[in-house]
Structure 1
């Protein structure tokens, strides 16, 4: 596994997290395209922020040595990024469209 593949997997997990949240909580849904976009950006934002603690893809690989615990934490944080990004975007949407 390379760092780029881990990054792509993390973004994909964020997309899945946002779309599943939008599917089960219709109140927070922007549709498939909107949920996907918010999932990508929410996942990247949280992974970049959390990656400073040593959970970025290149720390997971660590010179060719694979660390499964860091990968698991990276995937969980990525899913949370997609979910929290969707909730935050919908709350901003509600605030801006208040009549």
Structure 2
């Protein structure tokens, strides 16, 4: 796997998490397209934030070595980012209305 593929998988996990939360809790849903957009940005933001601590895709593929534990942490952080992004976007939307 390359770092780019790991990044794309992380974003896909964020999209799935945001759409899952939107499906389970209708009050946080923006529809499928809105949930997808929020999942992309929430996942990317949290991965970039935690990537500075050593969980980015480039640290997972350090000099051609693969670290499975860092990949699992990256996937979990990406899912949390997508879900939190959706909840935070809904809270902001409710505050603005």
- Is the pair's TM-score, using the shorter chain for normalization, greater than 0.5? yes
Match of 1:34 in 2: 34
Q: Aligned-pair RMSD on alpha carbons?
A: 0.3
Superposed counterparts of 1:6-25, under 5 Å: 6-25=6-25
Q: Deviations over 1:38-77 (max 9, x none)?
A: 0000000000000000000010001100000000000000
- SS at 2:58's partner residue? helix
Distance in 2 (CA, whole Å) between partners of 1:96 and 1:21 is 22
- What is the Cα deviation at residue 37 of structure 1? 0.1
Distance in 2 (CA, whole Å) between partners of 1:66 and 1:39 is 26
Match of 2:88 in 1: 88
TM-score (norm 1): 0.97
Match of 1:65 in 2: 65
Count of aligned pairs: 97
Q: Where do 5+ consecutive residues of structure 1 fail to align? A: none
Distance in 1 (CA, whole Å) between partners of 2:20 and 2:53 is 27
TM-score (norm 2): 0.99
Distance in 2 (CA, whole Å) between partners of 1:22 and 1:9 is 20
Q: Where do 5+ consecutive residues of structure 2 fail to align? A: none
